[in-house]
Amino acid sequence: MKTVSALLVSILLSAPLTLYGQSLYGSGISPEKALVRVIFTNPNSDLIIDIGSEGFAASLWEEGALYHQVPPGMYFIECGDEFLEIILRSGIYYSLIIADNRCHLFEDLEHNSPAKTQVYYYNLLKGEKATLYVEETGDHLFTAVPPGESVQRAVNPLKKDFCLTTENGIFLELGQLPMNRGGSTSVITYMDGNNPVSLVLQAAIKES
């Protein structure tokens, strides 16, 4: 079994991060705009992603991880050695995650549960179906999520430790996830070389 404790992956990216911006449910969110964030798993990179007039820099990755409001339309993105053509639509949330020298674009379900915590999980573990569960009870939050896919669920806030396992024996201790009513927590798992790593952050929208 591949067992990776939280201590072995307790680098900056494996700790929960609180990002400051405007509420996901507050005023100032234009229904005419698309909402996109860029999440860099390597903040030491000099990579810069341009989407229209918005620039997302790995060195300023906390700001980039906020959803930015951009005009809808077609954009060409240079991402390292990759060139992507993406179409962003009005009122839709998007996450562009840079991991393992690749760009992964996800269309996020709308944040629409102010009475609960919305948890988003992005599985970037190669060839691994992942299950996220409560350590104490074994209750599954997400089950057998295929690699390259994302899922979402609205739940009541829990003060419990979470773990992640895969069918091939990867094990990650995530600890308590930041959960509050009306909040949105994202969990991303990916490979850092040969090691599985987790990144946990809370969503917000960049103040205009």
Assigned domain for 208 exists: no
Q: Is the pLDDT of residue 22 over 90?
A: no
Assigned domain for 80 exists: yes
Give the tens place of pLDDT for each residue, 57-86: 999 988 899 999 999 999 998 887 788 899
Assigned domain for 77 exists: yes
Domain that holds residue 131: 3-202
Query: Which contacts qualify for 50-56: CB closer than 8 Å, 24 or more apart?
Result: 50/77, 50/78, 51/75, 51/77, 51/88
Mean pLDDT on 4-24 = 48
Assigned domain for 207 exists: no
User: pLDDT confidence of 26, banded at 50, 70, 90?
Assistant: low
102-108 and 93-99 beta bridge pairing = antiparallel
Q: Is the pLDDT of residue 19 over 90?
A: no
Assigned domain for 124 exists: yes
Sign, CA dihedral 134-138-141-145, equals: positive
In one letter, which amino acid is 134?
V
User: pLDDT confidence of 16, banded at 50, 70, 90?
Assistant: low
The tally of domains found in the chain comes to 1
The count of C-alpha atoms lying within 13 angstroms of the C-alpha of 190, restricted to the half-sphere facing its C-beta, is 25
Both tokens assigned to 30: 């234009």
In one letter, which amino acid is 190?
Y
In DSSP terms, which residues pair with 118 in a beta bridge? 154, 184
Q: Is the pLDDT of residue 44 over 50?
A: yes
Assigned domain for 52 exists: yes
Assigned domain for 164 exists: yes
Q: Is the pLDDT of residue 51 over 50?
A: yes
Is residue 134 within 8 Å of residue 143, measured between CB atoms? no
What's the CA gap between 51 and 68, in Å, rounded?
10
Assigned domain for 53 exists: yes
Give the tens place of pLDDT for each residue, 115-160: 999 999 999 999 999 999 999 999 999 999 999 999 999 999 999 9
Which 3 state secondary structure label does DSSP give 173? strand
